[in-house]
Structure 1
Amino acid sequence: MTGAFQSFLEPGQIVVHPDHPEWGWGQVQSAVGERVTVNFQHQGKVLIDASQVSLSPVQKPR
């Protein structure tokens, strides 16, 4: 069942996945509703259901 979920994430933001720190940081590629595509350093592109996983925004690494 899909609700009116709105992701606070937007393209370009840097995030980490709380369950997979080994993936490194990732850059949000797109965010449409709960569907967020993130390109992670060590995992590549991953489609994430943001209603199930709370991605944590971080400062962009230097």
Structure 2
Amino acid sequence: MEDLNAILTPGMLVRHPDQPDWGTGQVQSNVQGRVTVNFRDMGKMVIDSSRIALLPVFDG
């Protein structure tokens, strides 16, 4: 499967499609298909881009 999060760059805001209770997260890094995100209500998580397509947040 292709990298569904290739466009994500540090500083962008995202949500996890299957974990709405985690809140909005800020991308910390995106390296070799692993996106590190600091979620407001869950803390720092590493997401496998081949399995989860994070949802960009444009409204803050």
TM-score between both structures, scaled by the size of structure 1? 0.85
C-alpha spacing 1:45/1:60, structure 2 compared with 1 (3 Å): farther
Aligned to 1:7: 6
Unpaired runs of 5+ residues, structure 1, are none
**How large is the Cα RMSD of the aligned pairs?**
1.8
Deviation at 1:4, TM superposition (A): 7.3
Letter aligned with residue 32 of structure 1: V
Q: Where in structure 2 are the equivalents of 1:1-62 lying within 5 Å? A: 5=3, 7-61=6-60
Deviation at 1:54, TM superposition (A): 0.5
Letter aligned with residue 31 of structure 1: N
Aligned pairs, number: 59
**Computing the radius of gyration over CA atoms, which structure comes out larger, 1 or 2?**
1
Larger relative contact order (CA 8 Å, sep ≥ 6): 2
TM-score between both structures, scaled by the size of structure 2? 0.87
Give aligned-pair identity as a percent. Answer: 51
Inter-partner Cα distance in structure 2 for 1:23 and 1:4: 25
